[in-house]
Amino acid sequence: MSSKAIKIKSKREASKIISHIYGSSLSDNSVEKKQKINIIQPNSCSEVHVINEESAFDRSSISDSQSETETESELDFGGENSHCDPLTLKEKLSQWSIKNNICNSVLNELLQILREENISVPKDSRTLKKTPKSVVARSMGDGSYAHYGLKDVLTDFLVVNELNSETIFQVWPILCNILGYSDVYAIGVYEGYSKPGSSNDFLNEFVDELNGLITDGLQFQNKRFTIKIRCFVMDAPARAFVLGIKGHSGYYSCTRCCEKGEMYKNRVVFPNICLLRDDYSFRNRTQPEHHNQQHQMLIEKLPIDMVHQVGLDYMHIICLGVTRTLLKAWIQKKGVHFSLTSWQITDLSSKLINLKNCIPHEFMRKPRSLDDLKRWKATELRQFLLYYGPFLVHSVLSEERYLNFMKLSIATRI
């Protein structure tokens, strides 16, 4: 945004706020009164960091019982409920900037204009929004962990979004997503040269806070929101780490059944499906070989189904697993019934490269040649499976193999 646009936007918002503060209750020639106005935050009320948008610029009212001196020295921005939870101008500006995603440069311009009008506001947007100067972190193994807080994340979400339902929660450690909304919020971050030594230590603050919110709910603007967990989503290594179970290459690594795997061509496979795993068998360690830790993991303190509310990792299983295996079989195997000829591989690579200029910006990566297959990322394999492949491979695969590929593509999309 240009400096001119910033200044225009700041002055426009400042005009609204100044007009609101001075209001029609003060006469146009009451210049001296205007200069005496200060915004007072009552000490008896708890601090409010973020508030409801609807009250952000509500016209304030001055109680009939106030004396003339009080009228000149303070304004009540809380309306009828001000004795309970009055909102100061600073809080309203803070909420407005969060709600509208106002950048700091615009907010700083606005604060400067307000200060020139003798309105008591901070000079800097960071002071207004109470941005911490440093992050409190605790030592964890070879690194450090900073916990930002789930309650603050949910409160910020409620400021920006108006909800009719009072059940709002869906979570990924240690990122949080509200079911039905696209934004993802950071709850806690571990930083170090290696992963945390203990998943229980890593999840300690998160699990304690989440259990408290599930039990007591989240109080926000005289409403009580019920917190529920939809699911946990982790990749395969993280899932084994958090649940304290065998890694995906182990003989007893299947998270859905109790089948013992078999070694086949340097891979552990599960050719049969026997007894299915459930929450009871997981928590009671009925198959101890599946668990690396025989004691209770911290995540088990949460009221979830340890099997069905912990999602499978489709990135590794399908994208980096099945899709890559199919492509490698087609282009790297020679002289077998499912391999592609050299000209078919060249033709397919050319078609992929020619698609580059047709890819919309929503796709994170442009297609690459099959010569770079070993360097393809999971998102490239996903795009091939769901978008490019269905119309590119039709001319190079037999009808039987093309239908097999389409079953995988459609099933994954569903």
Residue 411 phi/psi, 5-degree rounding, is -60, -40
Q: Return all residues near 324 (Cβ < 8 A) that are at least 6 apart.
A: 373, 376, 381
pLDDT, one tens digit per residue, over 343-367 is 889 989 999 999 888 888 888 889 9
Q: Which two tokens stand for residue 380?
A: 């490239």
Q: What pLDDT does 165 receive?
A: 62
Quick check: bond before 174 cis, omega within 30? yes
CA angle, 282 as apex, 147 and 231 as ends, to 5°? 45
pLDDT, one tens digit per residue, over 72-114 is 333 333 334 334 445 678 888 887 887 777 888 888 888 888 8
pLDDT at 43 over 50: no
CA dist 271 and 164 (Å) reads 48
Q: What pLDDT does 13 receive?
A: 67
CA dist 360 and 76 (Å) reads 51
pLDDT, one tens digit per residue, over 127-179 is 887 777 777 788 888 888 888 778 877 777 776 666 666 665 544 458 899 98
Q: What pLDDT does 23 receive?
A: 54
Q: What pLDDT does 362 receive?
A: 86
pLDDT at 400 over 60: yes
pLDDT, one tens digit per residue, over 1-37 is 556 666 666 666 666 666 665 554 444 444 333 333 3
Q: What pLDDT does 27 receive?
A: 40
Contact yes or no for 147/205 (Cβ under 8 A): yes
What's the DSSP call for residue 398? -
Q: What pLDDT does 209 receive?
A: 93
- Look at the pTM and tell me if it is higher than 0.75: no
pLDDT at 63 over 50: no
Percent residues over pLDDT 90 in the chain: 27
Q: What pLDDT does 6 receive?
A: 60
Q: What pLDDT does 405 receive?
A: 93
pLDDT at 282 over 90: yes
Quote the strand ranges of 126-206, DSSP E. 137-140, 143-147, 170-172, 175-177, 184-186, 188-191
